[in-house]
Homo-oligomer: A and B are copies of this chain.
Amino acid sequence: MKSLPLLVGLSALTAASSVFAWDYVLLDTDKAAQNQQITSQQLGVKTDKPFTITMRTLHGGRQEGVSIIDIDNGTMKLSVVPTRGMNVLQASVGDVRMGWDSPVKDVVNPAFIELNGRGGLGWLEGFNELVTRCGYEWVGHPGMDNGELLTLHGRAANIPASKVTLQIDEKPPYAIRLKGELKEQAFKKVDFSVQTELVTEPGSTSFSLNDTLTNNGDYPKEYQALYHSNFSTPFLEQGARFEAPVKQVSPFNEKAKGDLGDWQTYRAPTPDYDETVYNIVPYGDAKGDTLTVLHNKAGSLGVSVGFNTKQLPVFSLWKNTDTKGQGYVTGLEPGTSFSYNRRFQRPLNLVPTIAPKEQRQFQISYSLLADKGAVDKALGQVKHIQDGRETEVRKEPLVDLTKEQ
Contact = CB atoms under 8 A, between A and B. Distances in A.
A181 B181 CA distance: 34
Given A28-B59, A29-B58, A64 B160 contact: yes
Contact of A112 (B63, B110, B118, B148): B110
B325 A59 contact: no
A6 to B, nearest CB: 23
A144 to B, nearest CB: 9
Nearest to A30: B59
Interface in A141-159: 147-149, 151, 159
A170 interface: no
Which of A28, A62, A63 counts the most chain B CB atoms within 10 A?
A62
A61 B187 contact: no
A119 interface: yes
Nearest to A193: B105
A185 B114 contact: no
A220 to B, nearest CB: 11
A218 B185 contact: no
Interface of A: 27-33, 56-65, 102-106, 109-112, 114-119, 121, 124-125, 127-128, 147-149, 151, 159-164, 181-183, 185-191, 216-219, 271, 274, 322-327, 356
30 contacts: A32-B59, A61-B182, A64-B65, A103-B185, A103-B186, A103-B187, A103-B190, A103-B191, A104-B185, A106-B185, A109-B111, A114-B115, A115-B117, A117-B149, A117-B151, A118-B149, A118-B189, A119-B149, A124-B186, A124-B188, A124-B189, A125-B187, A127-B187, A188-B326, A188-B327, A191-B325, A217-B325, A218-B271, A218-B323, A218-B326
